[in-house]
Amino acid sequence: MKQLIGENNKVNYGCIDEPIEWNYRDFVLRDFFNREIKGLRKKRAYHQFNYIGISAGKYIAGFAIVDLGAVKNVFGFLYEMGSGIILESDDKCPGFSRKMDFPRNPDSYKARYESRSTSLLIDKDKDEGVLTIDCHFKKRLKIKGRFPYSMEKHRPLRVLNPNDPNRFTFTEKCSPLRAEDIEISLDGEKLPFDKETVTAIYDWSGGYLRRETIWYWTAFSAILPDGTSIGTNLAAFVNETFFSENAFWIDNNRTRVPRVIYDIDPLDPYKRWHVYDETGTLDLIFTPEGERSDKINGGPLAKAIFRQFIGMFEGYFHPEGEKRIDFHNIKGFCEIHRALW
């Protein structure tokens, strides 16, 4: 098993297609002048989050558990294409709150959150090769499902990168996951959709992120009319200098993409987005339809602004030496995120 932190504080950077020993406490965190950061400052500098997005018929749902050290956050939403957000839930609590239990282990964990109106469980078991979710938001929206998920079959992208000389981030991404069982209900009524075509994206990140972190992000998952499964997870402004965290999947076959370019209007992000790479491996047009936005203001310790857009993709994937896959009318996400944490 590969260790996160090796001897002499060496972070074992790379693309990691095997289980990892998450010995993050062994890491010696240092400031700009290479002075060691200890105690509460070090604890608050560690951040971890897990996002899951689900595409089910005309519906798209997203939810996340977020630990920013000083602030904790759980959110979820349900969006109906053509209509907009049907329900949105957002719970925030201070870093010392016991409402959240978010284990430090990307391979196997049970992430939990419990408040008066909202509960969340994300259970990932690498030995069984399964991801289980059971979430209730505002006592109105219920999302419960089971997704086969293993490193061998689904080939997630797992990369460990520096984000400055003294900090690191590990991220795991995979798309699509196909539901073995799934139920989404609102106010006690099950939503109508074909369970055979339900897909999910998975995104987990943890580490000592830069004090100011910015990203553009793109993700979607789908089953094409001919039965081909496709998905992608892309980002810019995060970790372009070492191991790329960009990839797409066709029938669980992963293709890594070195770098992606975002041609967007940041002052008018409802204009079409063009996301592509220099070699022609992928080319996407995203048309935003609606958004979920949020602000986290934890004073001088943590601040974040993000706008997550829901819309439709068209474009293609073209792995080297293989058939080009064209697609259109694919539901998914693009996001603009900026944080001081």
In the chain, domain spans? 2-340
pTM: 0.95
Percent of the chain at pLDDT > 90 equals: 88
Given a cut of 70, is residue 301 above it in pLDDT?
no
Q: What are the distances in angstroms from CA 149 to CA 1, 25, 157, 179? A: 19, 27, 13, 10
Mean pLDDT of 282-297: 92
**168-198 confidence digits (pLDDT tens):** 999 999 999 999 999 999 999 999 999 999 9
Given a cut of 90, is residue 212 above it in pLDDT?
no
Q: Are 291 and 307 in contact (CB under 8 A)?
A: yes
Q: Are 337 and 306 in contact (CB under 8 A)?
A: yes
DSSP string, 161-225: EEEETTEEEEEEEEEEEEPSEEEEEETTEEPP--GGG-EEEEEEEEE---SEEEEEEEEEEEE-T
Mean pLDDT of 162-170: 93
Q: Are 87 and 140 in contact (CB under 8 A)?
A: yes
Percent of the chain at pLDDT > 70 equals: 98
**326-338 confidence digits (pLDDT tens):** 999 999 999 998 8
Given a cut of 70, is residue 298 above it in pLDDT?
no
Q: Which positions ≥6 away from 7 have C-beta within 8 Å?
A: none
Q: In which band, very low, low, confident or very high, does the pLDDT at 306 lie, cut at 50, 70 and 90? A: confident
Q: Which positions ≥6 away from 29 have C-beta within 8 Å?
A: 36, 37, 38, 42, 45, 166, 167, 208
Mean pLDDT of 8-14: 96
Mean pLDDT of 130-156: 98
Q: What is the mean pLDDT of the chain?
A: 95
